[in-house]
Structure 1
């Protein structure tokens, strides 16, 4: 094979193997319990908040298990690609998409930081409720405690899954 043909040979998308995990993250984020029991608003902002929250928990689990960092990078790229597609399908113009994507990625980063702090071994349990109040769109009058309790349960369940199991798109429901 010549050098030129190797150079222009199509390469597989490294994100391809993580696409099933991304779809599973979205599926888990749409589970009824987050909205009925947890008080998350069943709206576009509320659904985005749950996708970003579940993705952040998965990323934190992979990080805690010392999984290769490129897995987190590729999952985040899938998040960005999906959000970009969703914005364009909803009619957002090209000139605005980049700014909105920047805000969505910043929201994911903020969640990662808040949840990393809230689930630190010596963290005050109130940190998670504060993170929920700041980062999740709740129904009017809904308290943060029910969702915080559900997230604690999910975080504990996720901790029992190996990185290989998670990368195979097996997540607790």
Structure 2
């Protein structure tokens, strides 16, 4: 029983390490300065959601990584819940807002995934999917293309990380 507790504790530490790497990547100033993401609660939600999405995409189909990906999504949702409460939203309203934010996140996952599948290497389809979602409709067109390029590059860096490193909680994304 004690061994099972140690394993569960280590798994939580791995998920936390991965999640913190995603949070650090989502806080990069370039996302807000060049890529058109608004520096607000909703903009930070979008930036973090993009990185969680890219991590989910990285783990899809990889043996042993899908449970880790689900744990990271669960950690993301717990963080959202905590953030909403810190903003002063009443306990009665939190579940309703969480359902709404989860719905927004999964709608984004579906849209970005479809755009990446349909768009090949060109940023056009993804840039179009980003407009009105992560980026305001009135943002300059090059902001959406810059974010699409950033997402492709970050996705490539994630795919280059060995599965064993991900399972050890090592998600080095560099400082771009």
Give the shorter-chain TM-score range: 0.7 to 0.9
Deviation of residue 136 (structure 1)? 0.3
Considering only CA atoms, is the larger Rg found in Structure 1 or Structure 2? 1
Aligned residue for 1:123?
119
Asked if structure 2 preserves the Cα contact closer than 8 Å seen for 1:60 and 1:112, the reply is no
- TM-score, with normalisation over the residues of structure 1? 0.83
Aligned residue for 1:3?
none
Deviation of residue 109 (structure 1)? 1.2
Change (3 A) 1:111 1:66: farther
Change (3 A) 1:106 1:171: same
**Structure 2: runs of 5+ lacking an equivalent:** none
Q: What is the DSSP-based 3-state SS (H/G/I as helix, E as strand, rest coil) of the residue aligned with 2:100?
A: helix
In 1, Cα distance between equivalents of 2:164 and 2:173: 11
| CA-to-aligned-CA distance 1:107-164 (integer Å, 9 cap, x gap) | 22122212222222x5354320122113204495332222112212222222211233
- TM-score, with normalisation over the residues of structure 2? 0.82
Q: 2:134 aligns with which of 116, 122, 136?
A: 136
| CA-to-aligned-CA distance 1:45-100 (integer Å, 9 cap, x gap) | 11110000111001110114344321121111101111111111110011110111
Counting matched residue pairs gives 166
**Structure 1: runs of 5+ lacking an equivalent:** 1-5
Change (3 A) 1:165 1:142: farther
